[in-house]
Structure 1
Amino acid sequence: MNQSLMKPFRQQNRRVISYVPRVEPAPPEHALKVDGFRDVWQLRGKYVAFVLVGERFRRSPPFPVPESAQRWAMQTRQEEDIQD
């Protein structure tokens, strides 16, 4: 193919923006707080715990029962030495 007929790449001199991984936020708006548990939210049929560590929330893996998510939250608080 003739090089002179090809269009140049668009925005050739555009700066590359590096990707910054997302920090887990507070529970999303569509999550439902589970009554009787301090840190547990229901998200897509599973139970997830959110614990504030420093200035960021840590999110647990999904659990089938809320007790497991709360236990994860309590362990995380102990490991990070978070005061209530």
Structure 2
Amino acid sequence: MKPYRQQNRPVISYVPRVEPAPPDHALKVDGFRDVWQLRGKYVAFVLVGHTFRRSPAFSLPEAAQRWAMQIRQEEDIQEE
């Protein structure tokens, strides 16, 4: 008899992408510090060290900014 689901399958969790800079075709969203519009969705880019961390795509710019603030707290990045 076949098992209903795959056993010992690894749990997939989101790991922020590391990029050298926000892409040229991304549009900065006015009123938000770290939010860019990319292909109709909102993405946050946070500078950590010498690279940017990219958030998952959100449908609301507020959600992307919250993600960015959380990354800043976790990485203990000082506000400019």
Q: TM-score range by the shorter chain?
A: 0.7 to 0.9
Structure 1 unpaired stretches of 5+:
1-21
User: Partner residue of 2:45?
Assistant: 50
Question: Is 2:66 aligned against 1:71?
Answer: yes
TM-score, normalised by the number of residues in structure 2: 0.75
Does residue 31 (structure 1) correspond to residue 26 (structure 2)? The answer is yes
TM-score between both structures, scaled by the size of structure 1: 0.72
Q: Quick one: distance in 1 between partners of 2:29 and 2:50?
A: 23
Q: Measure how far apart 1:46 and its partner are.
A: 0.2
Identity %: 86
**Aligned-pair distance for 1:74?**
0.1
Higher strand share: 2
Structure 2: unaligned runs, 5 residues or longer: 1-16
Q: Which structure has the greater CA radius of gyration?
A: 1
Number of matched pairs: 63
- Poorly superposed stretches of 4+, deviation over 2 Å: none
